[in-house]
Amino acid sequence: MSDIPNSYNTDLSGLVAACERKGVKCYLAHRTLQQIKTYNGDAYGSVQQLVAQALADSGTTYTQTPYQHISIAMDKLTNVWKLWQDLKSGNQFTDYIIISHGTHKNFPVYDVHPGRTRLFFHNSYLEPVPVLIIDYTHQLEHNPPFPVTELTALNVEQQHQVEYRITDNWGLSTDPTLKYLLVQPNQNEDWHYPALPGDVYFRLQTHNDIVTGITANGVPFITYSNWQWRIEL
């Protein structure tokens, strides 16, 4: 993946070690995407915002190729399409959604990464997904909002393994203090437009001049029905 100065490759054990160096703890849990989005509010995972941004940037029809950057909104729409294709092929969400839980100016802050793109599936992918929480507050062990298991060097080898690229001393959108870990999957580029197998043709759908969804290569992809936006699975 694209390099960030002072970043390094590691695995789940290395992530636990990085947390230990910072004096913070990791926890594992399983939650649904809907539950995770509820904690997060509307910061991530709004399908309506995704459609609106794509419409504003690119109009009613647009073709994403593996060779041309169109817009940030189209980048995200393509990420979602690639995840959609992966789920339709029979795969599941098995890698951890990572939640950084901290405080800023005496207020709790909460950030999701990696996992923001998966939150767009909150009302179509209903199975619980694995969650890894990095707790910078030192409070989660005393009052967890749901059942958690501490992840340590003693039990890390028994868990689902993922390769990461980590950057120490990173800021969050909710807290610019450089005290957090930036954790990125090493295969992050696999989900972006340069890795597309071919062109993807997106078309906005309307009914009586009201936006009702997006098709991808002629297949319903995102729909609006019964007052709800969702990705079709």
Q: Is the pLDDT of residue 2 over 60?
A: no
What pLDDT was estimated at residue 188? 66
Predicted pLDDT at 228: 92
| 3-state helix/strand/coil string of the chain | CCCCCCEEEECHHHHHHHHHHHCCEEEEEEECHHHHHHHHCCCCCCHHHHHHHHHHHHCCEEEECCCCCCCHHHHHHHHHHHHHHHHHCCCCCCCCEEEEEEEECCEEEEEECCCCHHHHHCCCCCCCEEEEEEECCCCCCCCCCCCCEEECCCCHHHCCCCCEEEEEEECCCCCCCCCEEEEEECCHHHHCHHHCCCCEEEEEEEECCEEEEEEECCEEEEEEECCEEEECC
With 0.85 as the threshold, say if the pTM is over it: yes
pLDDT value at 7 more than 50: yes
For the ranges 32-41, 81-90, 158-167, which has the lowest average pLDDT? 32-41
Summarize pLDDT for 93-124 with one digit per residue, the tens. 999 999 999 999 989 888 999 999 999 999 99
Task: Give percent of the chain with pLDDT exceeding 90.
Answer: 64
pLDDT, average across residues 130-158 = 93
At 42 the pLDDT is 67
pLDDT at residue 193 in the model = 79
Q: Is the pLDDT of residue 57 over 90?
A: no
Contacts of 141 (CB under 8 A, 6+ apart): 25, 27, 135, 150
The Cα 146–Cα 90 span in angstroms is 29
What confidence tier does 1 reach under pLDDT thresholds 50, 70, 90? very low
pLDDT digits (tens, 9 = 90+) for 154-183: 999 999 999 999 999 999 988 999 999 999
Q: Per-residue pLDDT tens for 199-218? A: 999 999 999 988 999 999 99
